[in-house]
Amino acid sequence: MTVFLHFNRDRCKGCELCVSVCPKHILALDMASTNVKGYHPAGVTDPASCIACASCAKICPDSVISIEKE
Amino acid sequence: MTTVYRKSAGLQDRELHYCPGCSHGIVHKLVAECMEELGLVDTAILVCPVGCSVFAGNYFACDCIEAIHGRAPAVATAVKRTHPDQLVVTYQGDGDLASIGTAEIVHAAMRGEKFTTVFINNAIYGMTGGQMAPTTLLGQRATTAPMGRQKELHGSPIRMAELLSTMDGLAYAERVCVADIPHLNKAKKAIKKAFELQLAGAGFTFVEVLSACPTNWAMTPVEANKWLLENMAAYYPLGVIKEAQA
C-alpha cells in the first residue's frame, strides 16, 4: 500500500493538531519555510510510514489534508 | 487510487476565518459530513448565529440564513414549520445560545420544535475578545473576570444540555467534544443521530460540543484540547444526557 498525503500548504495555520494526533509521529511543522499566511505549514517527514488512518485529516480545522492510497 | 479522506462536499472551497486550532472548523466539517452522508446537502437549511461563527453561511454548501443575535431557534422554528420535510439546523455558540438567546432556545425545546441545534460551548466569548460567558468555568480567567470566575459573585456555569433536558419536547440531547480522534468520532455519530431523529419527527434534538478557544484561553491549540478534557469535561459530563423513548 502506498499512501499519498496532500497538504494544501497555504491553507495551514500551523495549529499542530495534526501533529498531536498522528499515531506514527511522522508529521511536523516545516520550520524552514512560511506559507502565504505567514505560518510554518504542517508536512509529513516519513511518508512511507503512513498507515492512512486519516486522524490528521479529520482533526484539521482548515481541511488542509486529503489522503489517497493505492 | 482510492480516496481515504477529502474535504466534505457539504462545505464550500473557502478559507475559514477562524483562529488556528479553533474547534469551529472541526465541527463545521462534522456537520457537513453528516449532511453529505445523509444526502441532504441540497435540501438542508442551516440557521447561523452571531458570534465567531457568524460567517458560517459563507462556508457551508447548503442553504443558510442569518439570524439576529440569539434568535436562531425562533428563525428555525419558522423555517422548519414551513419546510417540515427538510433538515433544519441551528449552529450556535455559548454567547448566542446560553446568554442573549436563552429564552428562545428554552421555548423552542419546550414546544418540541422538530429541528436540531448544534451548540458550541467554548466557555468564553470569542469574537468580542474573551469576556466571561455563562459557561465560563469557576476559576477560569476572562477579560471581564481577571481574577477568575467566582461562585459568590458570578454564580456557577450553566449546563444547557441538562437544563433543556427537563423539557418534555426535547427528544435527544448529547454532550460531546472534538479534542481527540475517539471523541471526534463520537461527536460525528451524535450529530448524525440527531439529524436522523429530526427527520423521523422525534422532536427537538440538541448536541452540545465542548470546544477549544486557544486564542482567548491563551494556550496553544494542543494545550487547549488537553485543558478541555481535564477541566471542561469534568464539569460538563460527556455522553447522552437524554434520549426520549419513541
Q: What is the pLDDT of residue B245?
A: 80
**Phi–psi pair at B8, nearest 5 degrees:** -65, 145
The CATH class that applies to domain B23-243 reads alpha beta
pLDDT tens string A42-66: 999 999 999 999 999 999 999 999 9
Nearest chain A Cα distance for residue B7, angstroms:
6
Q: What is the pLDDT of residue B200?
A: 97
Cα distances (Å, whole numbers) of residue A18 to A50, B159, B192, B195? 13, 30, 24, 28
Tell me how far apart the alpha carbons of residues B207 and B176 are, in angstroms, rounded to a whole number: 7
Q: What is the pLDDT of residue B120?
A: 98
pLDDT tens string B164-181: 999 999 999 999 999 999
**Structural domains for chain A:** 3-69 (3.30.70.20)
Chain A hits for B3, CB-CB cut-off 8 Å, are 66-68
Residue with cell 418540541: B112
pLDDT tens string B63-117: 999 999 999 999 999 999 999 999 999 999 999 999 999 999 999 999 999 999 9
ipTM over 0.90: yes
Q: Residues near B150 by Cβ (< 8 Å), separated by ≥ 6?
A: B138
Average pLDDT over residues A31-52: 97
Instruction: Select the residue of A14, A63, A68 nearest B7 (Cβ to Cβ).
Output: A63
Q: What is the pLDDT of residue B246?
A: 64
Partner-chain contact B26 A67, CB within 8 Å: no
Partner-chain contact B178 A59, CB within 8 Å: yes
pLDDT beneath 50: ranges in chain B: none
